[in-house]
Amino acid sequence: MQDFLQVTGIVLKSIPVGEYDRAVTILTTGKGKISAFARNARKQNNRFMASVSPFCFGKFKLYAGRNSYTIAEAEISNYFEKLREDLEGACYGMYFLEVADYYTRENNDEAEMLKLLYQSLRALSHENLDDRLVRVIYECKAMAVNGEFPGVPNKQELSDSAVYALDFITYTAVEKIYTFTVKESVLAELQEVSADYRERIWGHHFKSLEMLDLLLEK
């Protein structure tokens, strides 16, 4: 009898393989980052065609093969359609997925990163939240979740509001971090701090960030 693994997660990547298949990377809670194949997912009207695209969040039923898993069933509860319909939102979202892919590992407890990614994609879909602020919060909180956020810079003159915002991001539960807004001047301070930490701590080239920056320059 075939043994199955049930996981809840978000699709980070979906790459064409062979003539009809897709290789999918899913960020899950207890199992961390999982690689799996979606057989015939590129065939017209295949049941996996929509459910193994990036941003898809839901429950996945997998069975183990020799070197990887294969998706047997997918029950998607959130496709994040608003992000798919908006080019800028989609670029922000793809960057968030790439950061999550950079930070997470296989067979690791990634519950906090999954929660952060999910809440951040929801925040991007919210009309009343500035995507630039959502990005700063996501970057800083991702560092904090992974024990890399240095805190408020000692050598930098920041307003009280910026200091408060950074402390709030660092110590507030993921479910509540997208509950504030800031003035344009404070946002500029937060962007400067986040950009500096991103360069010094990550030092990684994100392809999606390059695309996002090009889009925002237009």
pLDDT tens digits, 79-137: 999 998 889 999 999 999 999 999 999 989 999 999 999 999 999 999 889 999 999 99
Last residue of a domain, one of 12, 43, 78: 78
Each residue's pLDDT tens digit, 27-53: 998 899 999 999 999 988 888 988 999
Confidence check: pLDDT of 152 > 70: yes
Q: Report percent pLDDT > 70 for the chain.
A: 98
Same domain? For 158 and 50 the reply is no
Same domain? For 141 and 211 the reply is yes
- Of 98-107, 159-168, 207-216, give the lowest mean pLDDT range: 207-216
Confidence check: pLDDT of 25 > 60: yes
H/E/C letters for each residue in the chain? Answer: CCCEEEEEEEEEEEEEECCCEEEEEEEECCCEEEEEEECCCCCCCCCCCCCCCCCCEEEEEEEECCCCEEEEEEEEEECCHHHHHCHHHHHHHHHHHHHHHHHCCECCCCHHHHHHHHHHHHHHCCCCCCHHHHHHHHHHHHHHHCCCCCCCCCCCCCCHHHHHHHHHHHHCCHHHCCCCCCCHHHHHHHHHHHHHHHHHHHCCCCHHHHHHHHHHHC
The number of folded domains in the chain is: 2
Same domain? For 62 and 143 the reply is no
Confidence check: pLDDT of 139 > 60: yes
Range 3-7 average pLDDT:
89
> Could you tell me the residue range of the domain that residue 64 belongs to?
4-78
| Confidence bin at 65 (pLDDT 50/70/90) | confident
Same domain? For 167 and 148 the reply is yes
